[in-house]
Structure 1
Amino acid sequence: MTKDCKRIISILGHDIPLGASKEINFNIAKLHTSTAIEVPVIIERSKKPGPTILFTAGIHGDEINGVDIVRQLIATKINKPKRGTIICMPILNVFGFLNSSRNFPDGRDLNRVFPGSASGSLASRVAHRLIHEIIPEVDLIIDFHTGGASRFNAAQIRIIKEDQKLEDLATVFGAPFTLYSNNLAKSFRNACHQIGKPILLFEGGKSSFVDDTISKIGIEGAKRILNHYEMLNVKKKSSPPKEPTKFVDDSKWLRARRSGMFKAKIDMYTKVNIDDVLGQITDPYGKLHHTVKSTIDGYIININEASLVYQGDALFHITTKLKN
């Protein structure tokens, strides 16, 4: 029997039939005060069989824009499918979320310990349970991330090259850009790939910040994917993106040639040409005024929003080659 026809699925030891709504606590550990830490896994199954799609966010605890996207999928009942099953895990790293930190309390990055170990570090144990007790039941994962603390990412999907299924799904999702990027060793994306589970990684915004435009792009993309699989709730509508996603074959960081106070003068998603003014670097004393110009023709897909930069810091991420 294929996953598409499964009438009962098993998540974290719980059997869940068609037509069920279930919230299961993903018990991972306790605080030093013996207070239990529980991560809700929210499962909605239609009475009609169909695919199982998992939406995840917060693998890094400070990436709250992704958390907001999954939260809205639940709050607006987009997660109630017309057929099949939708699983939502808004916060994978609840310790990091509570502490506004990227990592687990043991200092480990959850996204660098997959597939994990049942007897390993705290982060490794969480990764192991996720891979062994949830992922086997799903047919597609959409994992929401953000950029770094001061680096604002344009909304984008990241996939590996030469995977036609992922390219097709990225086209359906309809983010402004789709970047080809290799799977990192011990990452969630790589672990899913190794066991044959397709995964779309969404990047958008920056850490510790919620941008409404990024959230909207993520939500609309999720709705398009659900509509593609005929799973979107009949009460919800999905519309095609204003422009097809641009597949990015290659890109380059433009770095600061001076240290000082930095201000960008260009908007995200803008198409720029060589010698276009992108920003300026000044000093506190009014003596330095350095104009940052583009050395590349391409689209702006990341902007450093830090007020102070050092020579060599990455300022702008610009596409250098789009797929024909």
Structure 2
Amino acid sequence: MSTPRRGRPRESFAIGNVRVRAGSTKEVELPITRLVTGGDVSLPVRVIHGREPGPTVWVNAAVHGDEVLGVEVIRRAVATLSAKELRGTLVAVPVVNVLGFMTGDRYLPDRRDLNRSFPGSARGSLASRIAHLFMTEVVRKCEVGIDLHTASDRRANLPQIRADLDDPRTRELAEAFGAPLMLHAKLRDGSLRQAGREAGATVLLYEAGEALRFDEHPITVGVEGVRRVLAALGMIDPLPPGPAPERAPVAARSSGWVRARGTGILHLEVGLGEQVEAGQRLGGLSDTFGRRVRLVHADRAGIVIGLTTAPIVNAGDALVHVATPD
């Protein structure tokens, strides 16, 4: 009797100047620049190259240097994966804006926003060069991407997926992620999501929590969401059923900020995830002696998906972000 022939082993995964063998995990440093002190700055990447074939997916965090929550999401999610069991390849980049991350700054030293610099250029500004490196070595080698973000400074966001919900494939993966809210969001010029889409990838953007802070609930939602997407892609086995969510994910196509109509010290009366009605009182502004100077009312019905954490506000400041469900 003849012995059955084994299938050809999966090819290694090339990134930078190294190759990662199938069934193995490797950490790679992609050179970015050199500091004035002579030290090198590199983009840290972990490649989990599964033994069995499957999709190639990237997950990244800290495109803005103060968005530390996504770094913890990636740490926990990657810790559950084995290259010997994974079907496909996962490219994990916990910190994209390395220089901003080291100083706790949202932007790069040249004050550019990295998420407005994609797809970048090999000979452009520092932000442009980092964007080009990330696109060349990561995005263009992947079919699906998950971009992890938090709210900007002195704001907090409800865990949510922002994506093109009109694209069936994108919506399918957004629903698989399982965040409390899916917000249909237009592509922004220079963003990683836009550049990834133009490169042919399906991209989800996860927004949750606050800058420079670990918050357990959005971290947990993020870790479970990443794993659900990998399961939906067939890269890992389906997850065992967990506790039922408080409510099914809600889809929304529009949102807007309620802004301050005066200046004062803010006292909010609503929290993230709460349902509000048009005209409902959301809080009020007081002077330094506690005298109420103005009330804050909702200008639409919907769900609170973001809010300011700053107590002192000026006229025109964004206070409460309300999304209108479909």
Structure 1 Cα separation of the partners of residues 276 and 292 of structure 2: 25
Give the deviation of 1:227 after TM superposition: 1.4
Per-residue CA deviations over 1:135-166 (Å, capped at 9, x if unaligned) read 22212110100111111111111112421110
Structure 1 Cα separation of the partners of residues 162 and 241 of structure 2: 22
1:144 equivalenced with 2:130 (yes/no): no
Q: What residue number does 1:63 align with?
A: 67
**For the Cα contact (< 8 Å) 2:10–2:52, is it kept in 1?**
no
Give the deviation of 1:218 after TM superposition: 0.5
1:271 equivalenced with 2:275 (yes/no): yes
Aligned AA (1:123): A
Is the deviation greater in 147-156 or in 284-293? Answer: 284-293
Structure 1 Cα separation of the partners of residues 121 and 285 of structure 2: 47
Q: What residue number does 1:214 align with?
A: 218
Give the deviation of 1:7 after TM superposition: 2.5
1:19 equivalenced with 2:23 (yes/no): yes
Structure 1 Cα separation of the partners of residues 94 and 159 of structure 2: 18
Give the deviation of 1:82 after TM superposition: 2.7
**For the Cα contact (< 8 Å) 1:78–1:233, is it kept in 2?**
no
| SS at 2:101 equivalent | helix
Give the deviation of 1:233 after TM superposition: 6.4
Matches within 5 A, 1:55-204: 55-74=59-78, 76-78=79-81, 80=83, 82-204=86-208
- Unmatched 5+ stretches in structure 1: none
**For the Cα contact (< 8 Å) 1:277–1:293, is it kept in 2?**
yes
Per-residue CA deviations over 1:177-219 (Å, capped at 9, x if unaligned) read 1111111111111111111111101001121222111101101
Give the deviation of 1:280 after TM superposition: 1.9
**For the Cα contact (< 8 Å) 2:110–2:126, is it kept in 1?**
yes
**For the Cα contact (< 8 Å) 2:56–2:88, is it kept in 1?**
yes
Scaled by the length of structure 1, the TM-score of the pair is: 0.92
Distance 1:250 1:241, change over 3 A: farther
1:292 equivalenced with 2:296 (yes/no): yes
Q: What residue number does 2:287 align with?
A: 283
Aligned AA (1:254): V
1:223 equivalenced with 2:227 (yes/no): yes
Structure 2 Cα separation of the partners of residues 212 and 311 of structure 1: 33
Q: What residue number does 1:253 align with?
A: 257
Give the deviation of 1:288 after TM superposition: 3.0
Structure 1 Cα separation of the partners of residues 106 and 185 of structure 2: 21
Aligned AA (2:295): T
Structure 2 Cα separation of the partners of residues 313 and 89 of structure 1: 34
Give the deviation of 1:224 after TM superposition: 0.7
| SS at 2:289 equivalent | coil
Structure 1 Cα separation of the partners of residues 156 and 56 of structure 2: 31
Per-residue CA deviations over 1:121-144 (Å, capped at 9, x if unaligned) read 111111111111222221211010
**For the Cα contact (< 8 Å) 1:18–1:49, is it kept in 2?**
no
The equivalent position to 1:54 in structure 2, one of 55, 58, 67, is 58
Scaled by the length of structure 2, the TM-score of the pair is: 0.91
Give the deviation of 1:107 after TM superposition: 1.6
Give the deviation of 1:58 after TM superposition: 0.5
Structure 1 Cα separation of the partners of residues 218 and 109 of structure 2: 28
Pairs aligned (count): 316
- Unmatched 5+ stretches in structure 2: 1-8
Superposed CA RMSD in Å reads 1.9
**For the Cα contact (< 8 Å) 2:264–2:313, is it kept in 1?**
yes
Structure 2 Cα separation of the partners of residues 94 and 84 of structure 1: 27
| SS at 2:110 equivalent | coil
